[in-house]
Structure 1
Amino acid sequence: MDRDPPRSPRLRWHRSLRTRMALWSGLLNAVLVLATTLAFYLGARMLVVHNARVEAQALTRQGALNLEAILDSVQVSGRTLAAGATGVGAQPLHLRSLLLASLAGDPDIAGAMIIVEPGRLAPDDPGFTWYIRRDGQRLVERSVQDLGYDYRAMPWYVRTIEAPRPWWSEPYANAATAGADFTTYNLPLRLPGDGALVPALGMVSLDVPVSRLLEGLLQGVPAEAGLQPMLFSPGGLAVVHPDAGLRMRQRLPVLVEHGGRADLAPLAQAHASGQAVEFEHHDPASGESFLTQAAPVGDSGWTFATSASESFILRQLREVAQWVALIGLLALLPALVLVRRYTGRLLQPIEDLTDSARHFANGEFDYPLPHIGRRDEVGVMARAYNSARGSIQRQLREIEAMAGARQKLESELGIAREIQESMLPHPRVVEHAGMAVDLCAVLEPAKAVGGDFYQFAELDDGAVWFAIGDVSDKGVPAALFMARTATVLEGQARRHASPAAILAAASGRLVEGNETCMFATVLCGRLEVATGRCLLASAGHDPPALVHADGRVETLALEAGPPLGFEVFDRYVVREAWLPADATLVAWTDGITEAFDADDAGYGDTRLRQALRPGEGADATCRRLLRDVQHFVAGAAQSDDITVLAIRRTHAVAAATTVDDAVAVATGG
C-alpha cells in the first residue's frame, strides 16, 4: 500500500515574519496611540488652560467693570452733591434739596449726608449738618448732631477734612444701618478753585449697601463658570471670599503674613498698588493649584478677583483623554489582523522601491524604477519617485544656472560698489587766510551697496560745503536713491549759500517721481575756513558733535525739519555755530548709534561721545570711531550702513604737518 510523502513541517505562526511584523506594528501603533493621546492631552491642556485664563480674565474684568459702574455712579453723585453744596450757599432748604436729589437720582445710594462747619461759607453762617437715609419706601431725616456724637471728633470726619481727595470707607454695620453692611464714599468740601492743601469747610458722604456691590458682582461672574469670586475693600478686608470664615473678618495682608497664605502675596501686592495681576499658585493646606486673576475697581481702592482650581479646569479633559486612549488601544486588535494579512503582499514592492531609492541617493538617476504602472499606493509611490527623480534632475540644472547667475550678480554688485565709492569725495585739506580745514569721512555699507552718503567740496569764497545722509532701506534701491540725493544736493549747493536753502531746494526735487516713497535724512553745513563760522541745517538727521581742544564734547542741537523725499518743505532752520582752531566737528548716521552686539545691546550716544578724542586729525577721528564700534559689536552682523564725517579746523602749518605725516605713514616713509 502506497503512502503519501511526508510533508515539510509548517512554520509555526509565532516564527513567521508576517506575525513578527504584525506584533511590532501593533506595539508601535500602541505607542503611537499613547503618544498621540499624550500629545492630544498636552495640547488640549494648553488650549483649555489658555481658554480658561482668557475667560477668567474677561469675567474678572467684567465683574470689576460692573462694580466700577456702581461705584462710579456713586462717585459722580458725590462730586455733583459736593459741587452743588459749595455753589448754592448756606441755605438749608437748598442743601436738603441736593440731598434728596442725590438719593432720587441713584438707587444705589442708601443714605447721604452734608456737613458744613459754621462760618465757613459766610461769616454769619450757622453751618449745616443733615443726614437722610432710606428706610424701606420712606426717607428718614435728621441732623447729624442728633445722631448722639460729636462729628468733629469722629475719625471719618477728621480723615475726610484732612484728605486731599475723596475716599471709600471700610465696610461697617451699626444700628443706623439696621445691622446691614455698608460702605461710604466721603468727599471733602472745598470752594471752587481751592487746592487739595486748602482746609476743607466740611464734607459730603454717600452710603452704599454692600449688597448692591454683591449684586453687580454676581452679574459679572455666572455661577456655572466655575470661578470663585473674591472682593477686597480698600483696606484689604475680604468682603467676598470662598472661605466663609474669612468673609468680613480677615484682611488680605494679615492673611498673607500670618494666615499661612503666602501664595497670595502677588494678590496683596496688586491690591496695595491698584494694579491688575494674573498668577498661578498652590494652596499650602489643600495642595490644590489655582489660577487667580485680579483687577482694580477703577480708582476706588476696591479689588475684585476670581480664582479657578486646576482640577475643575482639567476635569472633563482628563475624562476625554482616558476614553481616547481606551478606544485607540481597542482599535489596535483588528489592525493587528489586517497588518499580518497584507504585510507579505506589500513588503516586496516596497523593498523594490527602497532599492531604487538607494541608487537615487547615490546619484544614479537612470536606475530602473519598477511598479510605476500599479494603481495602488505602491504605484503612487513609484510615480512620485519617478516625478521626484525628474524634479531633482531639473533642480540640479537650475542650481547650476543659478550659481552662474549669482556669480554674475556678485560681480555686478562689486562694480556697483566701486561706482558708488567713486561718487564719494576723497579726504582733503582746504586752506584759506592762514587757516586750514581737514575733511575726511568713512563709509561701511551693510550690504554690497548701501544708502549712506557724504559730500564735501571747496567753494569759491573760502568756505567748504558738506553733507551727510542716510537713505531709508538698504541695498540696491537705497543706493540708487542715495545717488540721486547726493547729485541733487551737490547741484543745489552750487546755487545756494545757505544750508537751509539747499535742503529746501533738494526737498522739492526729490519729491518728484518718488513713487516708492523713499526718503533720506540729511545734515547739511557750510564752514568758513578763515573765521570758523559754521551754518548747519538738518532734514531729520541726528545733530553733530563738536570736540573742543580741551576734550570737551558738545552736542550742537538742531531744529530738524522733515527728511527729504516725503514732501516739499521750505522752512528748514539754520543753526549758527563756531568751529574754533584745533576743534573737530563730527557727524554720523544712525548705523553708529544703533549698532548692536551679540546681546542686542546698542552702541548709543554715550559710547560715541566717550570714543571721541581731541587733537586727532579728521581721518584718525573717523578710524578711531569705526574701530570702537567694531570692537563693541564683536563680530555681530552689521544691521545698517555706517558713516562718519569729521571736519577739523587748524592753522595752515599744523594742517600741512598732519597731511605730511599721514602721507608718510601711508608710503612707509
Structure 2
Amino acid sequence: MSRGRGAERSGGIGLAARFTFAIAGALVLVGGGAGYLIVRSATAVTENYAERLLASSVALSERAESGAWRAAGGTGTRRGERHEGGVSSEPVRVDGAVDAELFRAGEGSAEVRLFVPAERDDVGRTLLGLVLPILAAMVLVGVGVAWWAASQFTSPLRAIIKSVRQISIHDPRYRGRVGGGGSEIASLSRALDRMSDELSEAREAELELDAREREAELTGAVRDALMPLATPLLAGFDVGAFHLAGPELGGAFHDFIELDDGSLGLLVCDVGASGAPAALIGATARAFLRSALRRGDEVTAALAEVNRELARDVLRGTWVSALYVQLEPGGDAATVVCAGHRLPVLRIGAADGKLRVLQPGGLALGLDKGPVFARRLDVQRLEVAPGDRLVLAGAAAAGLPDENGDELGERGFYQLVVGRAGLSTDRFLRGLRADLEAFCADEVFPADLSVVTVRRDD
C-alpha cells in the first residue's frame, strides 16, 4: 500500500502550485527587470536635465549681470514669491528677450542671484517616452513567459487527450508519452494507463467469450448433426436412447439404421480423439456407417468398407469403435457385431432377471487398412426372448467419477442397468439417466455418453 501511495506522489507538486510559482517567478523577473530599467533611465534623464539646466542658468546669470534685465511686469526690483530657506523668485526678462525666473537668497551685498531660463525641457514627456517602451517590452516578455508556463500544462494535457482519443477508437494498447504537468497530470496519466490495461483485458475477455460462444454454437451444431432426429418404431420392440454431453466437444454418437427389409440397426460409437477433430471424425464415421449399413449387405462387408475409408482419411492412431445390433421385426434373435468397442451388449433376461453380456471380437475402425480388421471381425447371434432388454452404451458410462474421483466402473454400471431393466423403455431411460447424474453429483461428465436400449414386447 505504501508503494502505491508513493507512486501517486511521484508526479511532484500540483498544477495550482506549479502555475502559481511559474507566474509569480515570471512577474518577479519581469517586474524587477522593468523597475530596474525605469529607475536607471529616470535617474539618467534627471541627472542630464539637472546638469543642462544648471549650465544654462549659470550662462544666463552671467549674461543678466553684464547686461540688462527687468521684472516681467516692468523695470524695478520688486520681490516675487518666497520659498523655504529665505529664497524668493520672480519672473524676469533678460536683455528684453529671454524670459527667466530670478531666484534670490540673502540680503544686501550677500545676496545671491540665479537666473533660470523660463523655457525648460519637458522631463515628464521624456520620461514617458522611456517608460512606455519598457512597459511594452515588459508586457511582451510577460506574455511570452505566460505562454511558456501554459505550455508546460497544455502539452501533457494534449498527450492525454490523444491517449483518450486512441482508446476511444478501440486502441486500448496505446500509450501516450506524458511528461511534466504536476502530480495531477501524472495521476491522470497513470489512471488512463490503468483504464487502457483494463479495457485491453476486457477486450481480450470479450473476444475469448465470443470465441467460446461460437465454439459452443459449433459444438451444439456438430452434436445435433451426430444425433438421430427421431427414434424409429419396430413392431414387437420398444426402442429408446439418450445422449449426455461432456464438457468438451467429442465424437461419441448413437444412431438407428432402418433397412429396407424392415430390420432396425442399433449403433453406438466412441471416437479415439477429443475436441473438434473428434467431432469431425465422428460425423464422417456416422455418414460412412449409415451409407454402408443401410444397403443391407453383409454386416462384415459394410464395416470392412467403412474401415477402409476411415483408415485412408483419419490420422494414424485415431480410431472409431462401434457396437452394432441388428433386430428383425418379430424375430427371436439379433445380429451383433463389435468393432473394438469397450462395453459389450447387455442382455437382461425377463425370465430370470439375470445379466448376460455379449462382445464379439473385432478391431476398432480406422486402425488397420483392411486385412487385420477383416480377420478379427466376428459376427454373433443373440437370442431375444419376450420381455428381454438389450442395452448398448458408450465407454464413458464406466468412467463416470463421483465426488471423490472414484469411477463407476463396468460392474457399477451393470448394476444400475439391472436395477431398472424391468421398467418400460421410457421409464428405464429416465431412471438410468437420473442414477448416472446422481452418482456424479456435482462432477461433470468426463466425455459424451450415448445409451441405446430396446425391450422386446411380452
Normalising by structure 2, what TM-score? 0.55
Q: Do structure 1's residue 522 and structure 2's residue 326 form an aligned pair?
A: no
Cα 1:355–1:427, aligned 2, differ >3 Å: closer, same or farther?
farther
Equivalent position of 2:230 in the other structure: 426
Structure 1 CA distance for aligned equivalents of residues 411 and 448 of structure 2: 20
1:447 CA drift (Å)? 3.4
The secondary structure found in structure 1 opposite 2:456 is: strand
1:486 CA drift (Å)? 1.1
Cα 1:373–1:481, aligned 2, differ >3 Å: closer, same or farther?
same
Contact kept in structure 1, 2:388 and 2:456, CA below 8 Å: yes
1:560 CA drift (Å)? 2.8
Equivalent position of 2:293 in the other structure: 493
Equivalent position of 2:445 in the other structure: 638
Point out which structure has higher relative CO (alpha carbons under 8 A, 6+ apart). Answer: 2
Aligned residues: 288
Q: Do structure 1's residue 593 and structure 2's residue 392 form an aligned pair?
A: no
Structure 2 CA distance for aligned equivalents of residues 355 and 509 of structure 1: 77
**1:614-629 equivalent positions in 2, closer than 5 A:** 614-629=421-436
Structure 1 CA distance for aligned equivalents of residues 392 and 12 of structure 2: 66
The secondary structure found in structure 1 opposite 2:230 is: coil
Q: Do structure 1's residue 442 and structure 2's residue 242 form an aligned pair?
A: yes
Structure 1 CA distance for aligned equivalents of residues 297 and 456 of structure 2: 20
Query: What whole-Å deviation, never above 9, does each CA across 1:484-509 have from its counterpart, x for those lacking one?
Result: 11111111112354433332221111
Equivalent position of 1:456 in the other structure: 256
Query: What whole-Å deviation, never above 9, does each CA across 1:440-480 have from its counterpart, x for those lacking one?
Result: 11111103743111122332334222211111233332222
Q: Do structure 1's residue 561 and structure 2's residue 365 form an aligned pair?
A: no
Contact kept in structure 2, 1:546 and 1:555, CA below 8 Å: yes
Contact kept in structure 1, 2:271 and 2:282, CA below 8 Å: yes
Equivalent position of 1:466 in the other structure: 266
Structure 1 CA distance for aligned equivalents of residues 413 and 315 of structure 2: 36
Contact kept in structure 2, 1:596 and 1:603, CA below 8 Å: yes
Structure 2 CA distance for aligned equivalents of residues 437 and 425 of structure 1: 19
1:595 CA drift (Å)? 0.3
Equivalent position of 1:581 in the other structure: 386
Q: Which amino acid aligns with 1:512?
A: R
1:413 CA drift (Å)? 3.6
Structure 2 CA distance for aligned equivalents of residues 489 and 640 of structure 1: 22
Structure 2 CA distance for aligned equivalents of residues 574 and 543 of structure 1: 13
Query: What whole-Å deviation, never above 9, does each CA across 1:509-554 have from its counterpart, x for those lacking one?
Result: 1112213643111111222232322121111112111011135333
Contact kept in structure 2, 1:446 and 1:642, CA below 8 Å: yes
Q: Which amino acid aligns with 2:239?
A: L
The secondary structure found in structure 2 opposite 1:570 is: helix
Structure 1 CA distance for aligned equivalents of residues 260 and 401 of structure 2: 42
Q: Which has the larger radius of gyration?
A: 2
Structure 2 CA distance for aligned equivalents of residues 482 and 370 of structure 1: 52
Q: Which amino acid aligns with 1:442?
A: F
Cα 1:446–1:574, aligned 2, differ >3 Å: closer, same or farther?
same
Q: Which amino acid aligns with 2:201?
A: Q
The secondary structure found in structure 1 opposite 2:233 is: strand
Equivalent position of 1:394 in the other structure: 200
Query: What whole-Å deviation, never above 9, does each CA across 1:230-251 have from its counterpart, x for those lacking one?
Result: xxxxxxxxxxxxxxxxxxxxxx
Contact kept in structure 1, 2:248 and 2:447, CA below 8 Å: no
Contact kept in structure 2, 1:498 and 1:535, CA below 8 Å: no
Equivalent position of 1:41 in the other structure: none
Structure 1 CA distance for aligned equivalents of residues 352 and 401 of structure 2: 27
Q: Do structure 1's residue 352 and structure 2's residue 152 form an aligned pair?
A: no
Which of 338, 353, 361 does residue 552 from structure 1 map onto?
A: 353
Equivalent position of 1:216 in the other structure: none
Q: Which amino acid aligns with 1:589?
A: G
**How large is the Cα RMSD of the aligned pairs?**
3.8
Structure 2 CA distance for aligned equivalents of residues 615 and 633 of structure 1: 24
The secondary structure found in structure 2 opposite 1:621 is: helix
Normalising by structure 1, what TM-score? 0.38
1:425 CA drift (Å)? 4.6
Query: What whole-Å deviation, never above 9, does each CA across 1:76-99 have from its counterpart, x for those lacking one?
Result: xxxxxxxxxxxxxxxxxxxxxxxx
Query: Any stretches of 5+ residues in structure 2 without a counterpart?
Result: 15-160, 165-174, 181-187
Cα 1:407–1:605, aligned 2, differ >3 Å: closer, same or farther?
closer
Structure 1 CA distance for aligned equivalents of residues 444 and 421 of structure 2: 30
1:408 CA drift (Å)? 4.2
Structure 2 CA distance for aligned equivalents of residues 474 and 414 of structure 1: 15
Q: Equivalent pairs: percent with the same residue?
A: 23
Structure 1 CA distance for aligned equivalents of residues 7 and 229 of structure 2: 72
1:354 CA drift (Å)? 11
The secondary structure found in structure 2 opposite 1:597 is: coil
Contact kept in structure 2, 1:535 and 1:575, CA below 8 Å: yes
Query: What whole-Å deviation, never above 9, does each CA across 1:134-180 have from its counterpart, x for those lacking one?
Result: xxxxxxxxxxxxxxxxxxxxxxxxxxxxxxxxxxxxxxxxxxxxxxx
Contact kept in structure 2, 1:499 and 1:524, CA below 8 Å: no
Cα 1:448–1:631, aligned 2, differ >3 Å: closer, same or farther?
same
Query: Any stretches of 5+ residues in structure 1 without a counterpart?
Result: 1-24, 26-342, 357-363, 375-381, 652-669
1:561 CA drift (Å)? 1.8
Contact kept in structure 2, 1:349 and 1:371, CA below 8 Å: no
Structure 2 CA distance for aligned equivalents of residues 459 and 354 of structure 1: 86
Equivalent position of 2:455 in the other structure: 648
